[in-house]
Amino acid sequence: MNESDWWKAHAWTDQRTPALAIVARGDQIRTLGPTSYSVRSQSRPESAYTVTEVSGRWSCECVFFRATLMTCIHIVAVRYKNGFEKSASSVGEVVCHDLLMRGPTCRDGRPIDPPSKYLRTAHA
């Protein structure tokens, strides 16, 4: 078994969980430049890997990425972090809805179809 096959066989089956854990810690990803990031290794805390994005192509210095050229948890973590920051900055105005009195409304005040229209009732 070559190195690439070994890493593929031992890769995370779902990279989202460890990637989200990296983001959730809050101190594991550091921005180095507009498309360059330093991500702390979770197995070796004294180490960090540089993740870069060039023309839509992501790369990482970690052994897994170098051996397989497959997306690693460090790349997924950076992409999650960037997505969270982008969505948080673009939230804008939040419209509160008075569901009990008049139902939900659009930003311009027009009512939205009554919620009951979308609720299913159980039939006996």
Cβ proximity of 89 and 100 under 8 Å: no
- pLDDT over 60 at 57, yes or no: yes
**Residue 74 backbone dihedrals phi, psi, to 5 degrees:** -70, -40
Return the residue matching tokens 């139902």: 103
Per-domain boundaries in the chain: 3-89
**Residue 5 backbone dihedrals phi, psi, to 5 degrees:** -65, -40
Give residue 101's pLDDT.
46
Give residue 91's pLDDT.
45
pTM assigned to the model: 0.62
Per-residue pLDDT tens over the stretch 31-47:
999 999 999 998 888 99
Cβ proximity of 22 and 29 under 8 Å: yes
Per-residue pLDDT tens over the stretch 71-114:
899 999 999 998 876 655 554 444 444 444 445 555 566 655 55
